[in-house]
Copies of this chain bind each other. A is one copy, B any other.
Amino acid sequence: MKVVIVGAGAGGMTAASRIRALKPEWDVKVFEATGFASHAPCGIPYSIEYGFPGDELMYYRPEVFIKERGIDLRLHAKVTEVKDGSIVVDENGVKNEYEWDKLLIATGASPKVPPIEGVDLENIYTVDLPPDAEILKSALAEAKNVVIAGAGYVGLEMAEAVSSLGKKVTVVEMAEHPLPNFDSEIGEILKKDMEQKVDLRLNEKIEAFEGRDSVERVITDRGEYRADLVILALGVKPNVELAEQIGVELGETGAIRVNQKMETSVENVYAAGDVAETRHLITGKPAWIPLAPAGNKMGYVAGVNMSGGNIEFPGVVGTQITKFYDLQIAKTGLSEKEAIKEGFEVKSAFITANTKVHYYPGAKKTYLKVVKDAETNRILGAQIAGYEMVAMRVNVFAVAIQAGLTTKDVFFSDLAYAPPFTPIWDPVIVAARVLKF
């Protein structure tokens, strides 16, 4: 049996490893356009901030897959065409064709580059694949004034990385607070912290980039900023072009529609990772939330099913976390505005708390916004900011939402307590009590 996997990111390599483990006799080929496998683009900002080499941004070295796992992994091999039963690959300028019985499309997502005037000037970058870490490091070495377009996750993390290098950073965001998919209570806390470190321009739209060859100025609807370097962090889009060549259906989100076995609309063609849709466990609807943990698991599920197994990916609740310097920010489930948009009648609570009991040294502030379904009391979402233990509390809510727990269930959850760790009434439990049950 011939398996072809397009894309050696986390999803593709997880699938490849699974198939080799379950069907050692099968021929498993993976084609990857870059020189990286199981790459971790989420580490690019930290490679810039801490200076470790960009080639550490792989979970496993290619040799591990090739030698230890027996996967025929081809790097610098760009798939240019997908046909029914075969693919065409550009390998060092030579076009080769390979047959497949089962195909996995794991082509990921790429940064959006909007058609803004001057966007093709030099020194305007996106943050996409691990090689960008070294490219950005070199370019940043020469830069003094950096403009970051967008204050979502990537914009935020790049704002930390670049400002930590001593550059003057201006962040331009159209929304009224950074991380626009959060509710404003948490967004405002982040805003205050960002304003200490960077020039944050909210409610502002970039209209043009100007400069001779290289970018020199960013023009917005409210001002003009000097820039020797611009980073576009305006969201991502799924790389569906190859899938479309063989008629794979896309979902409403624009990503590949799959069922819970990661099967596409075309027989023997699977999709996994950032290119594929998944199911939102709260709404039950298809969702496109391209994040690494789900991408890996989709790869695992695709690999099992492609090997003749039978496993379903239940879906996600959209848990996400990031930080800006010391401020940690996380979200799971739906924000209040997202929940309302989905038609829920909601109640929400916003609380401020300390992370430890009053007498224990080193307590820090944390802020929780929690949303429930007003009718059933089911927890719909939680957003948390704070200076420690944010991952802990968002994960409690992530599991609670996955399990369909109500405010009462969360109030009675048996969370760990000891003075060095938490207050006796954990803020999670206080939020559940405030929301009533």
Residue numbers of A with Cβ under 8 A of B are 10, 40, 42-43, 46-47, 50, 52, 56-57, 59, 281, 291-294, 296-297, 313-314, 316-323, 328, 330, 332, 357-361, 389, 391-392, 394-396, 398-400, 402-405, 409, 411-422, 424-426, 429
Q: Are B417 and A293 in contact (CB under 8 A)?
A: yes
A43-B419, A419-B46 are known contacts. Are A402 and B391 too (CB-CB below 8 A)?
no
Q: Are A419 and B359 in contact (CB under 8 A)?
A: no
Q: Are A391 and B321 in contact (CB under 8 A)?
A: no
A10-B424, A357-B43, A424-B59 are known contacts. Are A413 and B389 too (CB-CB below 8 A)?
no
Partner of A56 from the list B40, B281, B359, B403 (CB cut-off 8 Å) is B359
Which chain B positions have C-beta within 8 A of A413?
398-399, 402
CB distance from A191 to the nearest CB of B (A): 20
Which chain B positions have C-beta within 8 A of A417?
42, 291-293, 319, 321
A56-B359, A296-B424, A399-B405 are known contacts. Are A330 and B392 too (CB-CB below 8 A)?
no
Which chain B positions have C-beta within 8 A of A319?
414-417
- Count of this chain's copies in the oligomeric assembly: 2
Complex Cα gap A391–B388 (Å): 12
Complex Cα gap A292–B43 (Å): 40
30 contacts between A and B (CB under 8 A): A10-B424, A40-B424, A42-B418, A43-B359, A46-B359, A56-B358, A59-B357, A59-B424, A292-B417, A292-B424, A293-B414, A293-B424, A293-B425, A293-B426, A294-B414, A313-B412, A314-B409, A319-B416, A330-B416, A332-B416, A392-B392, A395-B415, A396-B396, A396-B399, A399-B403, A399-B415, A402-B405, A402-B413, A402-B414, A403-B409
Q: Are B398 and A400 in contact (CB under 8 A)?
A: no
Q: Are A415 and B389 in contact (CB under 8 A)?
A: no
Q: Are A416 and B395 in contact (CB under 8 A)?
A: yes
A399-B400, A405-B399, A420-B323 are known contacts. Are A50 and B414 too (CB-CB below 8 A)?
no
Which chain B positions have C-beta within 8 A of A321?
416-418, 421
Which chain B positions have C-beta within 8 A of A291?
417
Given contacts A391-B392, A398-B414, 9 further A-B contacts (CB under 8 A): A43-B359, A43-B419, A56-B359, A59-B424, A314-B412, A319-B414, A320-B416, A399-B400, A403-B405
Which chain B positions have C-beta within 8 A of A418?
42, 320-323
Which chain B positions have C-beta within 8 A of A281?
414
Which chain B positions have C-beta within 8 A of A361?
50, 52
Which chain B positions have C-beta within 8 A of A59?
357-358, 424
Complex Cα gap A326–B284 (Å): 43
CB distance from A414 to the nearest CB of B (A): 5
CB distance from A415 to the nearest CB of B (A): 5
CB distance from A239 to the nearest CB of B (A): 20
Partner of A42 from the list B43, B320, B419 (CB cut-off 8 Å) is B419
